[in-house]
Structure 1
Amino acid sequence: MGRLLRTVSGVRWGELRDVTGAPAGRIPPLLSRIAYGDEGSARRAVGELADVVCALGFVVGEATAPTVPFLLELVGAPHVVCKAELLDLLGSICQADQWHSAAAAAGDRHGASRRPQVDLEAAARRAVHAGWSVIVGVASSVRPEEAGAARRLLRVMDDAPPFPEA
């Protein structure tokens, strides 16, 4: 994969499921296209990746949290062309809380049945928050679209702190 994403092969993607329920093995090639593809290819790859790690802008899955560190690595890389789109995707991941909200609204009646999904949302949100320093760095970019997207993500992170441990 090159200098960027060199640890992506350390994740057992074939054992993880994306939000569609399919094996997550298509995630590394999408990350590679974002890192090394031309601008059009990279932007299309971000859209395809969003469909498998944060469907509809609010549904996360088993492969979402393991993908986030690579998204943050790409956001921090100087030559990646679609940082604003990646930051927006990270914002969607951070805001995902449909299962957490449903479990909280239902109280303990259905909490156990929702626990796996709530845990996936919590892990994904924690992974985004772990990249705070990268995002702060991009917030001072000379590229307005990147800086603006990073500042929006920081506001999202302020509004969506990590879920409390259960």
Structure 2
Amino acid sequence: MKTRFSLLLLAFGMISSLAAQTLERQVIGAAGMHATAGNLILSMTVGETATSTLEAGSFVLTQGFQQPDVTTASSIDPQTLVDWKLYPNPATAHITLELSMAQAFEFTSQVVDLAGRSMGIEHPISGADGHCLTEYPIGHLAEGVYLLLIQDLDGTPLQAIRFEKIH
């Protein structure tokens, strides 16, 4: 009897361990969203810790504890990105992007909401000497959080910079 019970227990243990071999990322939160627009994926939860990961090597931007596996291919060498600044943040009437690279560059940029919808604010960004200062009018936007997307000329996302519009 003990042998059968032991074998039965062993069989159940082996069966239950088979299901434990997959690891899925899950977040338990009060509210959140996941949206896809073209080749852009946005995912957020309410109440996540405000931490940030910015990398120039693969152009990864992460906020909070959601850390996706992202790979992007670009014709721009990621090591050439030297510095970017977006100010003021939060902003009321306009935001200014200051971009510096080790070489001349040409990009496109646009402001999108968190669902990935374009807000109609699009600008080319170019710097023959490796530096560029671009101003974006945002006074007409509703209060909220938006992203400034910087893309290669072929549409490959290079950087997503989060900013807040107030009043």
Sort the TM-score into its range (normalised by shorter chain): under 0.3
Q: TM-score scaled by structure 2?
A: 0.23
* Structure whose alpha-carbon radius of gyration is higher: 2
Q: Tell me which protein shows more helix as a share of its residues.
A: 1
Q: Which has the higher strand share?
A: 2
**Higher relative CO (CA 8 A, sep ≥ 6), structure 1 or 2?**
1
